[in-house]
Amino acid sequence: MTEFFFNLTWLIPLFPLAAFALIVLWTNRNRLLSTWVAWIGIGLAWILGWTLFFLSGREAHSLTPPGGGHPVPLFSIPTGTTLLRLGFQVDTLTGLMLFMVPFVCLMIFIYSKGYMNYGREDVDPRYSRFFAYISLFACGMLGLVVSDNFVTLLIFWEVMGLCSYLLIGFWFDKSYKDPKRITPKQAGLKAFLTTRIGDALMLAGMLLLYSQTGTLTFREIFREETLHTLATSYAWGQVPWATLCAILIFGGAVGKSAQFPLHVWLPDAMEGPTPVSALIHAATMVSAGVYLVARTFPLFVAVEGGTQLAVVAFIGAFTAFLASTIAVAQNDIKRVLAYSTISQLGYMIAALGLGAYVAAVFHLITHAFFKALLFLGSGSVIHGVEHGHHHTHHHPSEGEGHGDEREFDANDMMNMGGLLRRMPTTGWTFIIGALALTGIFPWAGFWSKDEILADAWRVFTHGGEFGVSMGWGFFVWLLLTAAALLTAFYTGRQIFLTFAGRPRTEAAAHAPESVPSMTWPLVILAAFATVLGLFGTPWANRFYALIGHQAEVMGREIAHGEFNPTVAGISTLVALSGWLIAWLIYGRKPLLVPVDPLEKALGPLYRWLKNKWYFDELYMALIIRPAIALARACYTFDDKIVIDPIVDAVGRFGRWLSEWLKKAVDNPVVDGAVNGVGQVTAWLGEFMRATQTGQVQNYLLVAAVTVLLLLAMFLIRTWGTWSVWLAFLTG
């Protein structure tokens, strides 16, 4: 029975893909039908996904990653000398992802119906297309987690990249009066191009792996002897192939999971509809990078004490810190969450860099739930404020409000305040999500974040596995703890600015609570964000039981977050002080005017954070401007000086040559021959026509004469014998 269900794995990405095709080809004119098609597609994937999760959990001992997955081969492509085997697999890591991805997707699909204003007069004109896109995205993510090789992984990876681009730019016709503000179209392009850098590195890593091992299937690459060969043969100097490939593949994760230095695209991706931000840019797609590192983890630890783990740990920890500082000075409710996402992904990456595999995957799962919850909550808030704005601006004077409609920013927390009374369900679930995010006992974030910090601390005090040095442990622990303080602060700031105090605008004062299809997913996700952590407590760590055996497969011990009262105490203290500071600044005396008190207190530092450490400006000056200048130079070279004139000259010469050939060869020879054939045929026809009189009697005469002639010929040929005939006839 188990076998039977495992062999159905290929159906999981197929359900949403079928929904996508159905909506695009047939049902797109009917909004309700399209909604249901998308829901049923993801619903079936969810049911099968959870089935596989529970079954893989039961078979955990025989299915532990990396080599133990149950293979579901699809087909193989013959290449020059080998076969490229493509297929899916189920192991416990896949099972965990199948627990999280389709469920979160389902919640967000349900939420989207309300968010895209189904059944109202301001329903999104591209409503059905939205459901088609998110279905395609679900296909990409589900396909990614069940892939057993780099080829299909890359295909689904790029499908998600495409969907991300399409959905960030979903409102591509939107423009703002402020020319500096990025439009959805530009944001989509930025996301696509930035992640492309990482994807190129990842592709290079894949190709190098293929050139070295001759296979792209995980279970074959992660064999002990293959890894040993990779670790002991050198690309150049003292750099083993394993290190090089691991770092290149990590490049892909940096792009997709928005890690420093490719983190710049994620905040701008918030220009997309909020369900998309929740689905793609918080819960699922951005965690694909973390998943990739977790999946290819054996490659990362193939070399003892290699630089690859140090790179991973540094980038993760630094990103976690960097993003949490920037989040402090953002006023856009979604951008705060975007930086928070980058920061939390940094936690996971840093944990992987320390070898804390289980903690990273645990945090990935819990984070997906509470961050999806927070994003959907923020979407609900924005939606409410937008409708409140609509309400206030349409009743007093019809039509006049249209002019400055665009100027009002429903995302700006300075325009909110006091929303807890207006939107109680949204508010309370948002607060639950915030408690989970900041790691307050006993919500999910406490357990998963604490496990990462405990692992970092243990590396510092006892030394880590895989040759991770103690110093890295301390470095990571310090940065992550600092990030935890800032996380609690900016989350508290967000809560107090949005929900506490008094409404600072008319729009906030009239914001209605969202429809049930939006609030129910919030409630369900909040429940998960509350209880999920209890499955990964240090005393009864179900996650370790599920995926911790990877180390045993590889003959090594893996970080197992033991409960450390010191670390737990410090992180709780830090989180509480973050909340306290936020309360002191924003909660004690609620803001009445939209001016952030931090601005005066921090001065230039605030501007530095507000402008995101000037990364966009830096990239603009260092990469984009030179690239544009180079392109312009090439254009001048091409268009004005060298290439185009040459091309034009060649073209003119060709034209002259053909004119000449036409006069000298084509007209007399070729045309002459063709016309000659025609004329001969016409003349022949004229001649033969005379015999065709149309009189049947003529034809019959010809036939009779012919018979007579034949008879004569017969008689002449049988001259000597026909007297015999005559004798016979006369009897």
Binding site residues, another protein, CB under 8 A: 694-697, 700-701, 704, 728-731
- Closest distance to another protein from the beta carbon of 692 (Å): 9
- Closest distance to another protein from the beta carbon of 728 (Å): 8
Contact (CB, 8 A) for 290 and 327: no
Between 620 and 715, CB nearer to another protein: 715
- Closest distance to another protein from the beta carbon of 729 (Å): 3
Between 675 and 693, CB nearer to another protein: 693
- Closest distance to another protein from the beta carbon of 706 (Å): 13
| Best CA proximity match to 247, nearest among 208, 210, 218 | 208
Identity at 268, one-letter amino acid code: D
Q: Helix or strand or coil: residue 78?
A: strand
N-terminal to C-terminal alpha carbon distance within the chain: 98
| Best CA proximity match to 424, nearest among 519, 496, 339 | 519
| Best CA proximity match to 507, nearest among 589, 384, 679 | 384
For the chain, give the number of residues.
731
Between 1 and 729, CB nearer to another protein: 729
Count Cβ atoms below 10 Å from residue 690 Cβ, excluding itself: 7
In whole angstroms, what is the distance from residue 533 CA to residue 535 CA? 5
**Residue 674 phi, psi (nearest 5):** -65, -50
Q: Which residue is it, tokens 């996402």?
A: 341
Burial-class residue 629 by CB neighbours within 10 Å (0-12, 13-18, 19+): exposed
Contact (CB, 8 A) for 104 and 283: yes
- Closest distance to another protein from the beta carbon of 727 (Å): 10
- Closest distance to another protein from the beta carbon of 668 (Å): 36
Q: Helix or strand or coil: residue 18?
A: helix
- Closest distance to another protein from the beta carbon of 665 (Å): 40
Between 684 and 707, CB nearer to another protein: 707
**299 in the Ramachandran plot: left (φ > 0), alpha (ψ -120 to 50) or beta?**
alpha
Between 80 and 694, CB nearer to another protein: 694
Between 691 and 697, CB nearer to another protein: 697
Between 690 and 729, CB nearer to another protein: 729
Give Cα 506 to chain centroid, integer Å.
38
Between 238 and 695, CB nearer to another protein: 695
- Closest distance to another protein from the beta carbon of 670 (Å): 33
Count Cβ atoms below 10 Å from residue 320 Cβ, excluding itself: 29
Between 584 and 684, CB nearer to another protein: 684
- Closest distance to another protein from the beta carbon of 666 (Å): 36
What residues form DSSP beta bridges with 332? 412
CA 609 vs CA 480, 580, 581: distances in Å: 18, 21, 18
- Closest distance to another protein from the beta carbon of 683 (Å): 18
- Closest distance to another protein from the beta carbon of 730 (Å): 5
| Best CA proximity match to 341, nearest among 364, 362, 358, 361 | 364
In whole angstroms, what is the distance from residue 2 CA to residue 168 CA? 39
In whole angstroms, what is the distance from residue 96 CA to residue 92 CA? 6
Between 679 and 698, CB nearer to another protein: 698
In whole angstroms, what is the distance from residue 620 CA to residue 605 CA? 21
- Closest distance to another protein from the beta carbon of 677 (Å): 24
H helix or E strand, kind and range, residue 375:
helix 357-394
Residues 6+ apart with CB under 8 A from 290: 253, 257, 345, 348, 349, 352, 360, 364
- Closest distance to another protein from the beta carbon of 697 (Å): 6
Q: What's the half-sphere exposure (Cβ side, CA atoms, 13 Å) at 129?
A: 11
Between 399 and 694, CB nearer to another protein: 694
Between 25 and 726, CB nearer to another protein: 726
Count Cβ atoms below 10 Å from residue 75 Cβ, excluding itself: 9
Between 397 and 695, CB nearer to another protein: 695
In whole angstroms, what is the distance from residue 601 CA to residue 584 CA? 13
SS (H, E, C) 159-171: HHHHHHHHHHCCC
Between 684 and 700, CB nearer to another protein: 700
Between 396 and 694, CB nearer to another protein: 694
Contact (CB, 8 A) for 295 and 66: yes
In whole angstroms, what is the distance from residue 526 CA to residue 536 CA? 17
| Best CA proximity match to 166, nearest among 260, 279, 39, 264 | 279
What residues form DSSP beta bridges with 70? 90
- Closest distance to another protein from the beta carbon of 713 (Å): 18
Contact (CB, 8 A) for 217 and 122: no
Identity at 169, one-letter amino acid code: G
User: Using DSSP, how many helices (H) and how many strands (E) does the chain show?
Assistant: 34, 4
- Closest distance to another protein from the beta carbon of 716 (Å): 19
- Closest distance to another protein from the beta carbon of 719 (Å): 20
Between 236 and 687, CB nearer to another protein: 687
